[in-house]
Structure 1
Amino acid sequence: MAAVSGQQRRPVVVLYERIADAIRDGVYPPGSTLPSEPRLASELGVSRPALREALLLLQEDGLLSVRRGVGRTVNDRPLRRGYEHIQPLEHLLSTGAPLRVRPLLRTTEEPTDFTTQHLLAAAGAELRFWESLLTGDGSAALSHEWAAAEETLEAVHPSFAGSLRVAPPAASMLSVLTAASRGVPLTAHSGISATLLGRRRGEQLGRAADTPAVLVTQVVRVGETPVLAAKHMLPTGVAALPVLSH
């Protein structure tokens, strides 16, 4: 899974998002019919081939349907943006207000096998580590986040290290970095696997140790440089994590 922000997005993806945003903002309300391709291409200032490709992606993702003799209509319940965009987990798992971020631990630690692999951390480096409990909407999830060494953050974007140093306790590391990015393109790759909570995580979440869960690992980069690595534990019962696949 990959997410790309800002300047690195393909023109068709940008166009897809413009139309999807217009649907979500009510410019094209549920049940309405989109303008014809020539008219829509003219309104958006894009070529018809690019528009046609974006419309096909919107159909595949369930935002649009094609009705014979009518044209492309907006579905009643368009899918909301999900994990394919770089957003803090507390926003992605919420159905209304963001989940609350309760800090369990804020510290620095030496590299582990996980951070050595994903952050390319050198032996003896000091890495900022945050453990957080995300609660709200009747569910709870656990998040572990590690930032790259401060000298690495300073090299790719000076605001990153400074923002983490003064961040409020009730914030996730990813929310701090995305807010500080200020147009610096971020990319992310993630992996998803099935697991059990285990005793310690079960106690933190108030669930049984043998509760099934989804483990999401995430690495966020600036160019080729990893700046954040995370593990998110999502037990059964937590809000769905929406993912649009093209």
Structure 2
Amino acid sequence: MAVSRPQRRPVVALYERIADAVHDGTYPPGSTLPSEPRLAAELGVSRPALREALLLLQEDGLVTVRRGVGRTVNDAPPRRGYERLRPLEELLAGGGPVRVGALLRAVEEPTDFTTQHLLAPAGSELRFWESVLTAPGAAGVLSQEWAAPEETLRAAHPAFAEALGAPGAGGGSMLAVLAGVARGVAVSGHSQVGATLLGRRRGRQLDRAPDTPAVLVTQVVLAGGTPVLAAKHMLPTGAPALPVLQSG
């Protein structure tokens, strides 16, 4: 299974070429992209690879398919890199500075969660970071982050694996580390928000009662369509407010 992952790299490079053309004005907002045959010929690529790259561009909000028109560049395409993805410690900092306290920095085998969200094959090794984020006068937030297998990180962007393995890298969140080296990489993310209770283990970690209500945020970060990070963030009652942005 690991052998197939690097095959996505040409598609990622193609994604970046088209995204660069959008952001430098070659394909300005509101314009219609050339037809698939013409665009494939202009870029010197196969139509299957182009189609996959276009799907990624559509998923990331750069282009929209309009019936009878074709693929058009969105009026306000998202900016590149991690400009729209902010580490949790930054999102929670509205009420004051947030401290990231490391509970665990380890290597784990895939679980059902990481197999589902990171497509991690059996027997692979995943970096796992567990942290408590605290702000003055607010309840603590529990954050659990998993990185994709190292070969997947290197295929998506070699600097990801190097940054996570660097001495002292565990002083902040995993997303903050990746954001620091993500220049020039097409990155997107999606999250799900639900309501739950802390439970015994998480209650002990946050020094709260097991039946404390909490918001559970599940987050997946992708580089060029490849999942590179999955996370669970547990925000109990009394935690700093988490801003949520929605786009139509």
TM interval, short-chain normalised: 0.5 to 0.7
2:123 is paired with a residue of what secondary structure?
Answer: coil
Which segment drifts farther, 178-187 or 227-236?
A: 178-187
Task: Give me the CA root mean square deviation.
Answer: 2.3
User: Residues 98 and 151 from structure 1, CA distance in 2 versus in 1: closer, same or farther, beyond 3 angstroms?
Assistant: farther
The residue number in structure 1 matching 2:238 is 237
Unpaired stretches in structure 2, ≥5 consecutive residues: 1-18, 30-74, 77-82
Residues of 2 paired with 1:137 and 1:85: CA distance?
Answer: 26
The residue number in structure 2 matching 1:149 is 149
The residue number in structure 1 matching 2:3 is none
Instruction: Provide the TM-score with structure 2 as the length reference.
Output: 0.65
Q: Deviations over 1:114-162 (max 9, x none)?
A: 0000000000000000000001132210000000000111111110000
Structure 1 residue 94, shift from structure 2 partner: 1.3
Structure 1 residue 168, shift from structure 2 partner: 3.1
Residues of 1 paired with 2:170 and 2:244: CA distance?
Answer: 28
1:215 is paired with a residue of what secondary structure?
Answer: strand
> Does the CA contact (< 8 Å) of 2:163 and 2:169 recur in 1?
no
> Does the CA contact (< 8 Å) of 1:94 and 1:137 recur in 2?
no
The residue number in structure 2 matching 1:223 is 224
Runs of 4+ in 1 over 3 A off after TM superposition: 6-12
Number of aligned residue pairs: 173
The structure with the greater share of residues assigned to helix is 2
* Percent of aligned positions that are identical: 63
1:152 is paired with a residue of what secondary structure?
Answer: helix
Residues of 2 paired with 1:97 and 1:185: CA distance?
Answer: 30
The residue number in structure 2 matching 1:165 is 165
Amino acid of the structure 2 residue aligned with 1:120 = L
> Does the CA contact (< 8 Å) of 2:97 and 2:136 recur in 1?
no
Amino acid of the structure 1 residue aligned with 2:110 = P
Structure 1 residue 11, shift from structure 2 partner: 6.9
Unpaired stretches in structure 1, ≥5 consecutive residues: 1-5, 13-52, 55-83
Equivalent runs, 1:27-46 vs 2, <5 Å: none
Equivalent runs, 1:1-246 vs 2, <5 Å: 85-95=84-94, 97-139=96-138, 140-166=140-166, 167-246=168-247
Structure 1 residue 96, shift from structure 2 partner: 5.0
> Does the CA contact (< 8 Å) of 2:135 and 2:240 recur in 1?
no
Amino acid of the structure 2 residue aligned with 1:101 = V
Q: Deviations over 1:160-219 (max 9, x none)?
A: 000000143321000000111112121001101100000111111111110000000000
> Does the CA contact (< 8 Å) of 2:95 and 2:135 recur in 1?
no
Residues of 1 paired with 2:116 and 2:244: CA distance?
Answer: 26
Residues of 1 paired with 2:151 and 2:170: CA distance?
Answer: 23
Residues of 2 paired with 1:114 and 1:243: CA distance?
Answer: 23
> Does the CA contact (< 8 Å) of 1:196 and 1:212 recur in 2?
yes
User: Residues 11 and 239 from structure 1, CA distance in 2 versus in 1: closer, same or farther, beyond 3 angstroms?
Assistant: farther
1:155 is paired with a residue of what secondary structure?
Answer: helix
User: Residues 137 and 151 from structure 1, CA distance in 2 versus in 1: closer, same or farther, beyond 3 angstroms?
Assistant: same
